[in-house]
Amino acid sequence: MLELEEALAKILSVLPATESESVPLNQAHQRILAERLLAPINIPVFDNSAMDGYAVRAADVQGANVEAPVGLQMRGRVPAGENFAGEVLPGTCVRIFTGSPLPRGADAVIMQEDTRIDPTAPETVLCLDTIKPWENVRLQSEDIKRGIPLGEKGEVITAGRIGLLAAMGLNEVHVGRRPVVGLLATGSELVEAGQPLEPGKIYESNRLMLATLLEQAGVSARIYPLVVDTMADTQAALQKAMDECDVVVTSGGVSVGEMDFIKSAWEQLSGDLQFWKVAIKPGRPFVFGRCRGKYLFGLPGNPVSAFVTFLLLVRPALMQWQGATDVALPVHFGILTEPLSNPGDRRHFMRVIVDAAGKVRSAGAQASHILGSLAAANGLVDVPPKTTFQTGDTVKVLRWE
């Protein structure tokens, strides 16, 4: 049985190198940059106004105030998107708007609220406040200078970054290829939603749950039909998924019972088992294998075991597959409002609820078949063997949303 870190290191060490592909920017959210990206242009592209007001020469309005306003002759206007042909000469100004190019000669913008139109001379703008050179001006390249890196290989493309790339005029970006992931659920007791429940049967729930987690990791899943617990069915299902996908994620059938066929079926298809069993709770019987460039992640069938092993062992693998440098789950530190106790001899990833104030409490019963507390939870706390975290302790909460 491997420790969690050993298991993860094993998985990450045998995954293939990332391939890259080009995607349109509107499909790039959450993708991983495949190369360092350099800014093709400056932002701002040109000096422009940060305010609605008047483009002036700062020296002209030195010392102006409400009692002693300075009058400037208005020589025209420059709406956003246009250019002012002339020049702001001493003693003059130009009406300007947020984002309009700063006219030649001007070196500041006085905001509209600090001016008044002279009622007796409508072409005269009275400036009611003094101003420093370059005040209310957004300078060319003060945000992004042409040639600087906009992102590094391995970084995630966030909404903010999409805004930046769009502002650069880019409409395509190089990202890591996503794996095609097949989802199988094994178990002769499983029934599809919408079908009647015969005695002894239960509705299958792992595939959709895992598909949702996959989507959060930026991967869309192929969902395969339910697999009954026979060697022949398990082999046929694995073979088909393996032919069509890069990665096969299964649930159930990895324990020690004689109805657990995943490991032996995989080996029959000439796959290898890199390891079986990880020293965590829930999720001990997790299995990982390889077969001719294809990968098997065999998750235990109990819903919480499948959920937790997906987050701890499959998600980081899929992130690395896409080229991500940081494959860890997001974390949140919080303060316990009740003890969390693990009397067992394996690390227990306990379901918790962390609220907006950072208070952390148990999400309820912690057995690996309890879906109610999984549905209520928004985090996991890693409690070491034979350990109790006390009320008031600061704990690290692993998140997935």
3-state DSSP assignment of residue 223: strand
Any residues with CB less than 8 A from the CB of 266 and at least 6 apart, and which? 238, 273, 289, 291, 296, 298
Looking only at the bridges linking them, the beta strands covering 181-185 and 247-251 are parallel
8 Å CB contact between 266 and 296? yes
- The half-sphere exposure of 361 on its side-chain side, counting CA atoms within 13 A, is 9
Any residues with CB less than 8 A from the CB of 117 and at least 6 apart, and which? 124, 125, 126
Shortest spacing between CB 286 and ligand AMP, in angstroms? 10
303's contact among Mg ion, ligand AMP, none, with CB below 5 to 8 A by partner kind, is ligand AMP
Q: Which stretch binds ligand AMP (CB under 6 A): 19-27, 59-67, 197-205, 264-272?
A: 197-205
Shortest spacing between CB 97 and ligand AMP, in angstroms? 60
Shortest spacing between CB 232 and ligand AMP, in angstroms? 17
Shortest spacing between CB 224 and Mg ion, in angstroms? 16
Shortest spacing between CB 375 and Mg ion, in angstroms? 22
8 Å CB contact between 19 and 283? no
Shortest spacing between CB 305 and ligand AMP, in angstroms? 7
Q: Quick one: which of 42, 302, 362, 366 contacts ligand AMP (CB under 6 A)?
A: 302
Q: How far apart are CA 396 and CA 290, in angstroms?
A: 33
Q: Quick one: which of 103, 252, 271, 298 contacts Mg ion (CB under 5 A)?
A: 252
Query: Which phi and psi angles does 353 have, rounded to 5°?
Result: -115, 120
Residue with smaller CB distance to ligand AMP, 94 or 249? 249
298 lines the binding site for ligand AMP (CB under 6 A): no
103 lines the binding site for Mg ion (CB under 5 A): no
3-state DSSP assignment of residue 210: helix
Q: How far apart are CA 213 and CA 352, in angstroms?
A: 18
Shortest spacing between CB 378 and ligand AMP, in angstroms? 21
User: Residue 222's CB: how many other CB atoms inside 10 A?
Assistant: 14
Q: Which stretch binds ligand AMP (CB under 6 A): 89-97, 102-110, 236-244, 300-308?
A: 300-308
Shortest spacing between CB 284 and ligand AMP, in angstroms? 11
Q: Quick one: which of 112, 188, 255, 341 contacts ligand AMP (CB under 6 A)?
A: 255
Give the chain's count of helices (H) and strands (E). 8, 28
Looking only at the bridges linking them, the beta strands covering 70-78 and 92-96 are parallel
Burial class (CB in 10 A: 0-12, 13-18, 19+), 148: exposed
107 lines the binding site for ligand AMP (CB under 6 A): no
CA atoms 47, 51, 55, 60: torsion sign: negative
Q: Quick one: which of 47, 189, 233, 393 contacts ligand AMP (CB under 6 A)?
A: 189
Binding track over 354-373 against ligand AMP, x by CB under 6 A? --------------------
Q: How far apart are CA 73 and CA 96, in angstroms?
A: 14
Binding track over 229-248 against ligand AMP, x by CB under 6 A? --------------------
Shortest spacing between CB 152 and ligand AMP, in angstroms? 39
Binding track over 299-338 against Mg ion, x by CB under 5 A? --x-------------------------------------
Looking only at the bridges linking them, the beta strands covering 340-342 and 387-389 are antiparallel
3-state secondary structure 387-398: EEECCCCEEEEE
Q: Quick one: which of 92, 250, 251, 362 contacts ligand AMP (CB under 6 A)?
A: 251
Q: Residue holding tokens 């006390």?
A: 390
Query: Which phi and psi angles does 212 have, rounded to 5°?
Result: -70, -45
Shortest spacing between CB 262 and Mg ion, in angstroms? 9
Residue with smaller CB distance to ligand AMP, 301 or 323? 301
381 lines the binding site for ligand AMP (CB under 6 A): no
Residue whose CB is nearest to ligand AMP in the complex, by number: 301
Q: Quick one: which of 98, 188, 205, 378 contacts ligand AMP (CB under 6 A)?
A: 205
Q: Which stretch binds Mg ion (CB under 5 A): 100-108, 148-156, 249-257, 363-371?
A: 249-257
Residues found near ligand AMP in the complex (CB under 6 A) = 185, 187, 189-190, 202, 204-206, 251-253, 255, 300-303
Which residues form the interface with Mg ion (CB under 5 A)? 187, 252-253, 301
